[in-house]
Amino acid sequence: MSDQPENGTRRDLDGKECIFYDNYWIRYYPVPRDTLANRKEQIDSLTRRTFHHTESGINTPGERLEVARAAYQRESDPARKRVNGAMLAGALFNRATDIFTAIVEMESRGVKLSPDNELMLQCEECFRQALELGKQVKHYSGEEGIDELWGEPLKAFTQPVSKMFESRYRKIAQTMADIDLVTTRLIEALKTDSLFEGVTRKLHFLASSAKLQIETMKTDDAFFVVWPAFIAAREAVEAFEPNPAGADDNVHTRQHIAEGMKLVREGAALITYLSEARVPMPKTTEEFLRQCEFFQNAQLRSTA
């Protein structure tokens, strides 16, 4: 029998209350009461986070929804239509939050709306349309879309708060696993290369601080310790310089150093993207792993 805890197990680890999901112990936060006001707070937070991590220019106000929809429908150029679709997704997102804000305000005045009320249905439909169009929206790096972010406000609207928190922990665990994978493969690609001796420790520290950043809410006082440590770790990796002592100073060596440093910086950037978005980025991760394999194979061929 496995000694691994079941998902949802809680335990105090070094003074930090944690919950276990999918091989990772994650900082635990109590689930708030399932009220419309608390759901609105969750939706507002998730909406801000989505726009923060996606391409610029798409945070279209909800009152511009019909203008955005008309522009999307009449555009025929594929590249431009994708951007119009992203702008329309933003308008739908904001229209949904506008409607939900009105619903919460009515409840605070004693007006209760049933789940099949027209406003509730319209709000859900806006979230669903935004989720579908969100597949066209790119991460701010331009690397790929992260449509999982677009689905989280819909979950907050349709699911109990407890389910939302469970989904959050699972996404965090998946993202932590990807950070570990990226870090491991990058270190493997560099470990036999004396030019990059010393970067391993910096990468390990970046990965551990990135995972602490993922699990920590910004409203937590611990964030004032966790965030500076994460940024300092990333800057230490970015400032790393290879040790050329004993290496031949030729075109091949200089090119090799440039390619290795490019790999290190892209690895640090990807770990940063994952940590900040808190969701996996499978396409970008897969491409980076291929780059690591290519670099490692090239190094093996040159030393054979």
Residue 140 and residue 45 share a domain: yes
Number of neighbouring beta carbons within 10 Å of residue 267 = 25
Same domain, residue pair 198 and 279:
yes
- Do 235 and 211 fall within a single domain? yes
Mean pLDDT of the residues in the chain = 90
This prediction has a pTM of 0.86
Do the domain assignments include residue 28?
no
Q: What is the DSSP letter of 243?
A: -
Name the pLDDT band for 250 (thresholds 50, 70, 90): confident
Q: How far apart are CA 96 and CA 153, in angstroms?
A: 9
270 found inside a domain: yes
Question: pLDDT value at position 182?
Answer: 97
pLDDT at 149: 78
Place of tokens 């790929």: 144
The pLDDT tens digits of the residues spanning 254-279 come to: 888 889 999 999 999 999 999 999 99
Query: Domain range holding 139?
Result: 36-159
The structural domain count of the chain equals 2
Indicate whether 241 and 187 sit together in one domain: yes
The two structure tokens encoding residue 152 = 């989280």
Let me know if residue 281 belongs to a domain: yes
Helices marked H in the chain — which ranges? 36-52, 65-74, 78-108, 118-133, 148-158, 161-190, 199-215, 223-238, 251-277, 282-303
Query: Does residue 182 lie within any of the structural domains?
Result: yes
Give the number of other Cβ atoms within 10 Å of residue 109's Cβ: 6
Examine the domain organization and report whether 175 and 299 are in the same domain: yes
Determine the pLDDT at residue 1. Answer: 46
The CA distance from 293 to 202, in Å, is 20
79 and 125 in a single domain? The answer is yes
- 62 and 132 in a common domain: yes
Residue 15 resides in a domain: no
212 and 147 in one domain? no
23 occurs within a structural domain: no
Stretch 197-220: mean pLDDT? 95
The residue among 131, 159, 187 that closes a domain is 159
Q: Are residues 243 and 298 in the same domain?
A: yes
